[in-house]
Amino acid sequence: MAMKKNDLKGKNILVTGATSGIGKGICIALLSQGARVIGIGRDESKVSDLSFEDNKFLFLPYDLNNIDGIEGLFQNNSVAQEKLDGLVLCAGKEETVPLSLYKGDKIKSLFNLNLFSGIELLRIFSKKKFSKDNSSVVFFSSVMGELGQPGKVGYCATKSAVLGVVNSASLELAKRKIRVNAVSPGVVATPMTKKLFSQLSDENVKQIEEMHPLGIGQIEDVVPTVLFLLSDDSKWITGQNIKIDGGYSIQ
């Protein structure tokens, strides 16, 4: 049987973390395939270059740390006019902080963005008035969701919790044939990674690079898997965690 290309034309996809890195890369790829994209992020100026025909890109400036206001985003007439075919939860932040400095407020802030905002978006998305049957949800976890690293207690905890959400939600939403999966990248060359590397010694950067047998990843190494999970080609895949890490996790 011949394999068909991912057909995303005309699909209506909401993407968080749309202003930079992997999230922006996903938006660009979806738009290039004819999807309608609703992007959520904090800085609209970072997506000013996403000008596509027929107003296929709608940007909603919002700080997802404000969990209580998320449902209001769905009251936007431009969002509500068409049910969603997909949800990509890419917003998040990485922190390296010694355990002795991890106080309550810092942990809460990390969980708000990396986990709680995603659960709230999934809760709203799961309502029949906002999403279609046979739709797809893609959470971003990390190889750190299964592996540990010094100074990343909070980050590892949030990414591990994401996998628990995927396991449970995939079963709960299966009655509507809604698929819920996770992708877990290793270190990918993004603005966030560049900022992190700028704070490290050359020796530490080299150590991180050497932990990836195939080298540091690029945005284009991650995006195709996300597009596949959003497409109908993945209609029998749910509750999975797909690692895209250049071999980091097999060592």
Domain assignment present for 200: yes
Question: What is the rounded CA–CA span in Å between residue 221 and residue 28?
Answer: 14
Domain count, the chain: 1
d(CA 18, CA 16): 5
> Which tops the pLDDT comparison, 76 or 71?
71
- The model carries a pTM of 0.93
Q: What is the pLDDT of residue 2?
A: 40
Query: In this model, does residue 230 exceed pLDDT 90?
Result: yes
The answer to the question of residue 250 being in a domain is no
Is 157 a domain residue? yes
**Range(s) of the domain holding residue 113:** 12-245
In a 10 Å sphere around its CB, with 0-12 CB exposed, 13-18 middle and 19+ buried, how is residue 73 labelled? middle
62 carries an active-site annotation: no
Residue 82 lies in a domain: yes
- Would you give the DSSP letter of residue 217? B
> Which domain CATH number covers 49?
3.40.50.720
- Per residue in 192-224, pLDDT (tens digit) is 788 778 777 888 888 888 889 999 999 999 999
The answer to whether position 1 is within a domain reads no
Evaluate whether 181 touches 237 at the Cβ level (below 8 Å): yes
Tell me if 106 is assigned to some domain: yes
Task: Please identify which of the residues 62, 102, 155, 248 carries the catalytic annotation.
Answer: 155
Q: Does residue 127 fall inside a structural domain? A: yes
Mind listing the pLDDT tens digit for each residue in 105-160? 888 999 999 999 999 999 999 999 999 999 999 999 999 899 887 788 889 999 99
Whether residue 3 is contained in a domain is answered as no
What sign results for the dihedral spanned by CA atoms 183, 26, 86, 114? positive
